[in-house]
Amino acid sequence: MPRLLPFVLVAGFVSLGCFRAAPEPVAEGEARPDAPAPAPLVTTVEREVAVAPMPREAGERELTNEDIGLDPKIEVTLPDIERVDKVPPVTVPDPVGVPNLDVTPLAPPLGGKGVGVGELPGLGGDEPLPGNPFAGRTGAIKNKLIKQNGGNEESERAVALGLSWLAKQQNVDGSWEFDQGSHKEQKACSTGLALLPFLAAGQTHKDRNAKYQKTVAAAVAFLQKQCTVAGANAGRLSTDAYCNGIAALALIEAYAVTKDATLKPHAQAAINYIQKTQGPNGSWGYTASTNGDTSIVGWQVQALHAAQHAGLVVDTRAVAKVVKFLDTTAKGEKKSMYGYTDSAGAAPGTALTAVGLLSRASVDNWTAATPGMADGVAGLMKNGPPAQGAVKNLYYYYYATQVVFRYEGEQWTTWNEGPKQADGTRKGGMRDWLVSTQNKKAGDAVKQGSWDPEAGWLGQGCGRLGTTAVCVLQLEVYYRYLPTAKKALEK
């Protein structure tokens, strides 16, 4: 039986200096993808396209970051975006003489000649997996999830301010650049990372009513141009495995939430490339088709997972190989701790363990009832978020927050809102820590809505842009992904 992948955010932050993990025994540490593809099936040209709003349920109120259904006056607290440049017209590739042709040229997932939809032994393809993990990003369900999962007006206001700041940093060509570090040329990575918070907030390039429709459309068009659908580099967005995974995830999500037919060939090509470049042991390395480490695996698994739910073709053999790799890096009777390239140095409450646990939940059907997950979460809880101080260790907290959110229960309440005090209130949780550390100074036009770069790898390699994008994504945890289709239906 093929493995069904319950949707969960998985990430592996990176060799840019802003995304990496090392094989150190306790703390998250330091770490260090090209193959031929099929000939083009059609000739494409650039043409401008109109975008239309996404359909809504009859009578449904569209809730956004500016109107989240909690405070009718929240709009007045939010700054209007002032673009200092003009975004060029959005163009997308379209087959000559065959408008809107839904063609999906596929590169071979594990070698061999090019194949078509339905020829791969994978999940997805003609129909997406059951359930829509992206359904909580807009409408009444978003409002419900914010309240139900521990968000509040302050956290949503912080998201809105963060998005406003991110939008102002966008380049004319639709890309973003990291503001510090030695990898500013990795625009696919910075663009993918900055785009993800907008998609998580329900902003799409197809919704004319979305506040950031032009921002998202320009970013999607930029990534589209980077991702060719034929030729020697088909589907490759970056030669850096981490960057490629991040950019692929953003492109695939943009397709998943809109089902824009012009994006499908690019999204499929991106996931084909990831599958082609998987190493023999099931991981991904810094060079295409070589073995790598747990840190790199995270983003690739996330992209594969999103692709399955988007209805793209995903080879089940690639999924099975990931599980085998996780087995080699797991430690303990319950496999609740994870190392770098093997089990050496695996310990509870580390970034690599958090990535491993999220990967298990995605590709190995681990749930809160799985002994390894319960044991792993217990270790994470011993390394919970600080009550105060500047943001730090975002690499670890980003992953751990996803794991504990998925686990739910008292553990999640404590992680998100803080331990219960003598008077019954809670203080010192992840939510209030991130909200309190955001720059909210109305007179600081340059930094308002952003977070100062953290002192760790994320801040050093990706600067204020990367730090802000990751902080916003964490504050969108309440609705970014529905944990599983079953849970969504139950609730």
Per-residue pLDDT reduced to its tens digit, 236-258: 999 999 999 999 999 999 999 99
Q: Which pLDDT does position 363 carry in this prediction?
A: 84
For residues 256 and 262, the answer to whether their CB atoms sit within 8 Å is no
List of residues 6+ apart from 332 with CB closer than 8 A: 346, 372, 375
Q: Strands 122-123 and 314-315, how do they pair?
A: antiparallel
Query: Rounded distance, CA 63 to CA 25, Å?
Result: 44
Q: Which pLDDT does position 368 carry in this prediction?
A: 94
For residues 90 and 217, the answer to whether their CB atoms sit within 8 Å is yes
Centre a 10 Å sphere on the Cβ of residue 258 and count the other Cβ atoms it contains.
22
Ranges of H-type helices in 232-293: 241-256, 264-276
User: How high does pLDDT run on average in the chain?
Assistant: 80
> Model confidence at 112, in pLDDT bands (50, 70, 90)?
very low
178 strand-pairing partners: none
- Over 80: is that where the pLDDT of 99 sits? no
- Residue 389: Cβ-neighbour burial (10 angstroms; 0-12, 13-18, 19+): exposed
Q: Which pLDDT does position 457 carry in this prediction?
A: 87
Q: Which pLDDT does position 410 carry in this prediction?
A: 96
Q: Which segment of 34-48, 170-184, 216-230, 265-279 scores lowest on mean pLDDT?
A: 34-48
Q: For 103-125, what is the mean pLDDT?
A: 36
Q: Could you report the per-residue pLDDT of 118-170, keeping only the tens digit for each? A: 333 444 444 566 678 999 999 999 999 999 999 999 999 999 999 999 999 99
Q: Which segment of 171-175, 266-270, 333-337, 399-403 scores lowest on mean pLDDT?
A: 399-403
Which two structure tokens, joined as six digits, stand for 434?
A: 């991130």
Q: Which segment of 93-107, 116-130, 176-190, 263-277 scores lowest on mean pLDDT?
A: 93-107
- Over 60: is that where the pLDDT of 71 sits? no
> Model confidence at 285, in pLDDT bands (50, 70, 90)?
very high
Residue appearing with tokens 């999500």: 253
Q: Which segment of 64-73, 136-145, 303-312, 414-423 scores lowest on mean pLDDT?
A: 64-73
Distance of CA 475 to the CA centre of its chain: 13
48 strand-pairing partners: 91
Of 79, 217, 63, 253, give the one whose Cα is nearest residue 160.
79
Q: Which pLDDT does position 408 carry in this prediction?
A: 95
List of residues 6+ apart from 380 with CB closer than 8 A: 348, 349, 353, 354, 357, 400, 403, 404
Q: Could you report the per-residue pLDDT of 382-440, keeping only the tens digit for each? A: 999 998 999 999 989 989 999 999 999 999 999 999 999 999 999 999 999 999 999 99
Architecture of domain 44-490: Alpha/alpha barrel (1.50)
- Over 80: is that where the pLDDT of 488 sits? no
DSSP, collapsed to helix, strand or coil, labels residue 331 as strand
Q: For 29-37, what is the mean pLDDT?
A: 39
Q: Which segment of 15-24, 153-162, 324-333, 387-396 scores lowest on mean pLDDT?
A: 15-24
Q: For 204-219, what is the mean pLDDT?
A: 97
- Over 60: is that where the pLDDT of 449 sits? yes
For the chain, what percent of residues have pLDDT higher than 90?
65
- Over 80: is that where the pLDDT of 2 sits? no
